[in-house]
Amino acid sequence: MDALHVVDGDRDPAGPCACGSALPRSLCCGARAPVGRNGPAVFAADESADAVAEEWDLALTTIHALAPVLPDVAVPLLGNRTPRELFHAGAEERSAALQFVQAVSRSADGMGFELPTDHIVASLAAADPPTYAPEEREGLVLASFTLQLLARGVETAAVLGGQRLFRDLIRATPPALEDPHACAAAVDFAVCWMHFRPEANEEYPEGRREIAALYEVVPEALLEHFGDLKKALKLVWFDPRYAVQDPAWQERLERTARAIAEGDLDDDLAK
């Protein structure tokens, strides 16, 4: 009988799960599935039902998108390599890639979603990634930026907003998927930009280089795709469609807007 997944409120949601899964806790026990082969989840007392439901939806959506593209998603817990790259790097690395796929499969099974594990393992045998159809590239992008954001500790609500942003983006500009890695990097950067995270600070160019490196794209491609994304969706700071709303920051932004309008540039955001 499978062990019960237990929520540990002190555990880092971006770190490895306590159950032994290779997935970040936010995609495993942190998803707190109410039903599954692992039995009922254990909830922290200070979490609302809405917050729990959001985390579960995020986990299920990402696992579902991950299934067909899993061999070719760069995974932070694998040194930011893809399972396919690891599989062909040597005997020890091949074992690690297979263990990772099995761990993902166990985690998905615990949430009531069965992955086609045999098909995924068989696909690892090909050294080169396949050419993904448009619908498969969508899953590749979704899984890529979701895993990378969660691994860096970006809060779940912000990642959910990034998923909504991505879906709006591909409806508005379907060519965005022609370069899946650059598209994933741009969505990652957009989430950070909307929430004033240091990775997207204009005075910290190293941040955008770090994000670009995570997705193996050049910083220029990242900024070009982000510019197109920002224009297509008319994206703004703390965009109410996609961002976590922070009343303190909202007040600050309104104060800054007034300062700009009145020509008072003492506020550091107005400079």
The residue whose two tokens read 């370069």 is: 179
Q: Domains in the chain and their CATH numbers?
A: 25-123 (no CATH), 134-247 (1.10.472)
Dist CA 187 CA 14 (whole Å): 19
- Alpha-carbon distance 149 to 27, whole Å? 12
CA–CA dist 173, 59 (Å, integer): 26
Give the pLDDT confidence score for residue 46 in this predicted structure. 36
pLDDT of residue 250: 58
Structure tokens at 25: 């806790």
Question: Which residue carries 């224009």 as its tokens?
Answer: 231
Predicted confidence at residue 65, as pLDDT, reads 75
pLDDT along the chain (271 residues), means of 10: 33 48 44 31 41 64 76 82 92 91 80 81 90 82 86 82 90 85 94 89 86 91 93 88 71 66 56 43
User: What does the chain come to in residues?
Assistant: 271
Query: Any residues with CB less than 8 A from the CB of 226 and at least 6 apart, and which?
Result: 186, 189, 190, 193
Task: Look at residue 265 in the predicted model and tell me its pLDDT.
Answer: 52
The pLDDT score that the predictor gives to residue 58 is 67
